[in-house]
């Protein structure tokens, strides 16, 4: 999942949300940073991170932090837990 954190000063969150939907926006909400400063948190799918980042840059919205969080599904092995070299 891609996550962007914006400074909300001077932004209209509703208008921004409508602008970014076509660029991969999945979720947007308010939060606070490490120092208690207000932030606008924008989330997108991993595959849409670059597209959403470009849309923010094109609109001159400078992200305080843009990062990608990757969640991988755990796959259980059908192999028994033994020291055999093959299943």
Q: What is the mean pLDDT of the chain?
A: 79
- Check residue 72 and give its pLDDT: 43
Is the Cα torsion angle 21, 11, 58, 15 positive or negative in sign? positive
pLDDT at 60: 78
CA distance 63 to 34: 15
Domains parsed from the chain with CATH numbers:
2-68 (3.30.70.980)
What's the pTM value of the predicted model, to 2 decimals?
0.68
CA pair distance 12, 9, nearest whole angstrom: 9
The per-type count for the chain, helices as H runs and strands as E runs, is: 2, 4
What residue spans of the chain are helical by DSSP H? 13-20, 49-58
For the segment 45-79, what is each residue's pLDDT rounded down to a tens digit? 999 999 999 998 888 765 554 555 544 444 454 54
**CA–CA gap between residue 80 and residue 61 (Å, rounded):** 52
The pLDDT of residue 7 is 87
């Amino acid at each position: 999942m891609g996550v962007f954190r914006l400074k909300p000063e001077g932004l209209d969150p509703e208008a921004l949300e409508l602008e970014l939907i076509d660029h991969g926006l999945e979720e947007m909400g308010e939060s606070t940073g490490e120092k208690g400063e207000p932030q606008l948190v924008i989330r997108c799918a991993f595959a849409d991170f670059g597209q959403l980042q470009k849309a923010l840059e094109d609109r001159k919205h400078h992200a305080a932090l843009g990062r990608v969080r990757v969640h991988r599904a755990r796959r259980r092995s059908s192999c028994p837990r033994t020291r055999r070299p093959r299943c």
